[in-house]
Amino acid sequence: MTPARPCFSRRRLVVMTAGLALLILSPGPAPAATTPDGATAVIQDLAEGAWELLHRKDLDQRHRLDQLTQLLTSKTDVPLLSRLVLGRYWRELSEAQQAGYEKLFRAVVMRNLARRLDQYANGASGPLDQHFRVVSEQPAGRNDVLVRTKVVTREGDSLNVDWRLRVRDGRPVIIDMIVAGASLLVSQRSEFAAVIERSNVDGLLTELRARAQSSES
């Protein structure tokens, strides 16, 4: 039987915030503290880069999504985020499977984020500050900082989007995105766990491969 596909819809994203603080904490030595100014600059740079891509006339949708995915990935600690999403099941994978899973995570989850960004903002007109602004930044736990932003979609809907960042390899990187109070990390972890419960870790990898191939077609 083909395993059920995990749902990556906006509806599922805006759920399940409980347990975020526990899930964010990773094992090992504590990294250096993230500075709010550095974190805010990362998010502002991300917004400006995405805005530029969304208004390039020489890119079709597929190539625009390719570049948006690359931009998001460059600002995100994908290895850490992908491990936190998989949780305890990470240890069940061989080294080869871990490498393959991380690659699939980039191809599926990060591209889905790029697609959502494209849906929210593509076709929006006017200056960036009419559609995106940083509201505040504040410490989040011992090692992280939360950059709070407000996004106005092309339909005029206003969304609160928060970005959790941590210093990794000397620079602030995104480790979670929280839309309307719902954590991507927590929501995605729940979805992956549901698939694993039905069809084990191999079933999840099979499903992610299918979704990655679908995204490329």
**pLDDT tens per residue, range 165-184:** 999 888 999 999 998 889 99
Residue 147 CA to residue 210 CA, distance in Å, equals 34
Average pLDDT over residues 71-94: 95
| Torsion-angle region of 26 (φ positive above 0: left; ψ -120 to 50: alpha; else: beta) | beta
**Residue 77 zone, left/alpha/beta (φ > 0; ψ -120 to 50; rest):** beta
Q: What is the residue-averaged pLDDT of the chain?
A: 82
Average pLDDT over residues 22-47: 62
Find where tokens 């805005």 sit: 51
pTM score > 0.85 for this model?
A: no
16-22+34-216: which CATH topology? Nuclear Transport Factor 2; Chain: A, (3.10.450)
The pLDDT value given to residue 217 = 57
Q: Is the pLDDT assigned to residue 76 strictly greater than 70?
A: yes
146 DSSP β-pair partners: 138, 164
